[in-house]
Amino acid sequence: MLSKNSCKPFYAGVKNGGRRYLMKQIVFARRSLVICFVLLLIASEAIIESHRAYAAPIQSANSSVSGLTSKERIEAFEKIWSTINEKYYDAKFNGVDWNAVRERYRPRVEAAKSDEEFYSLMRRMTGELRDAHTRFMNPRQRQQRKRSQATSAGVLIFEVEGTPVVMSVNADSDAARAGVEPGMVVRTVDDKSIAERIKEVRDEIGASSSERAMRLLTYSRLLAGEPDTSVKLGLMRADGTPLDVALTRRIASAAPKVTARLLPSGYAYIKFNHFREPVAKEIKEALIKFKDAPGLILDLRNNGGGDGEEGLRIAGFFFNEKVAFGRILTRTGKPPSALFGLIKFPKEFSAGRKGGQLYAAPGIILVNEASGSASELFASALQEQNRAAVVGTQSCGCVLGVLEHREVKGGSEFTVSEIAFLTAKGRRLEGEGVIPDETVALTLADLRSGRDAALTQAEEFLRNHAKGTRRAAAR
């Protein structure tokens, strides 16, 4: 995520005065600000942490030392509320009476006895908008975000066929050594029933962009906590026998990772978890290496988004000309501007250039409900351009734009959705997400057996496409 400070050189000329200097700044800035804007445009990531093999950390609830005075909490509250009131992309606030929200939360903030209580209130208040991108982060979360770190208990928990289960286990973890396996049913968390813990978390965080986003946010918070603290899980094996484990939360990296290989079928397979540098560079190298593969599967499952410019760069590898990807919507109906309106940001964005295509064979994109933000824009654009088919389950529906992280006294921060997006065909993804061409849902039986049904279906999709092409050529 970039902030306005990232573009500070482009604003500096105003302070120095002088028409000649200002015009030089404008000429220099026009091209650079477009790049900066694209970075800011889609650079915020939806709350998809639950599918990145770590849980977002929170401040310890046992802390009795307060870093903010009551007056400072009220001032922070007013800053957060008023900024959203002024900047939020939707003048109707998603149907929420934002003035009434202030009236309800102000007395609660005044009565808050600790920073932790205040932080919880701010998470719930921003959650009132049912928007995964408008959110509050406490000081530790902010520092972890800046360091691309978080905490992990070594397991990922989510819901499959309506049942909370272990989705994956880190190979080098306490969980793996304790015998925890994918597909085990989660019965308790810290001696509370899983149903009770889910209700507690949902009551705390409020709503989000979609029910899918809400599930992601809920499960990410179930195991959240400070590094070097423990969490107890009561599990049930496939045969019905119990397994109780105590797992230690440890610092984990949230850095981008790319996996690229040829499948036994001969199709190329590329998976990455973020749209961040140097992902585009690594994908470019993989596409050049696999350029003769008869088909490509891009796995965006559990990819929460990231840097919009990186996404457009990757998308450009699949087109031999410039193609429309979408346009933006703002509260005023006008695109954001800089230098007192002298520089206008584009309302539409595109990808590709003549001679820029690196891979021309058919493609499949895998998505699930943990595919969010820039991942959804990327997948929908290639789908609309008939450049790739989409296989999997409906994506998060978490597609709004954040222009900066705003710091609050005490070290916390918040973000505000200032931009909405429409696809090139005018479809809004926020709340709805990407609808697959072929829906393949994960089952508990597949999870326990290690079978990737979506990947299998993607390969079958490519084989059928090749057969259809051969039949058409034979006519």
Instruction: State in words which class domain 149-253 has.
Output: mainly beta
pTM for the whole structure:
0.81
Report the pLDDT value the prediction gives residue 145, as an integer from 0 to 100.
Answer: 74
Question: Long-range contacts: 234-243, Cβ < 8 Å, 24+?
Answer: 234/186, 234/187, 234/188, 234/189, 234/191, 235/166, 235/180, 235/184, 235/185, 235/186, 235/187, 236/184, 236/185, 236/187, 237/181, 237/184, 238/183, 238/184, 238/448, 242/187, 243/178, 243/179, 243/180, 243/184
Where in the chain are all domains bearing CATH 3.90.226.10? Answer: 258-474
Report the pLDDT value the prediction gives residue 38, as an integer from 0 to 100.
Answer: 41
Q: What CATH superfamily is the domain 258-474?
A: 2-enoyl-CoA Hydratase; Chain A, domain 1 (3.90.226.10)
DSSP 3-state of 16: helix
Please, what are the averages of pLDDT over each run of 10 residues along the chain (475 residues)? 35 43 44 39 42 39 62 97 96 96 98 95 92 89 73 93 96 94 98 95 78 88 88 97 96 87 98 95 98 98 91 96 92 71 74 96 97 94 97 94 90 94 93 96 97 98 82 60
CA distances from 295 to 157, 261, 373, 385, 464 (A): 32, 12, 25, 17, 11
Give the residue from 243, 57, 228 showing the smallest Cα distance to 165: 243
Report the pLDDT value the prediction gives residue 7, as an integer from 0 to 100.
Answer: 38
> Is residue 38 within 8 Å of 367, Cβ to Cβ?
no
Report the pLDDT value the prediction gives residue 43, as an integer from 0 to 100.
Answer: 39
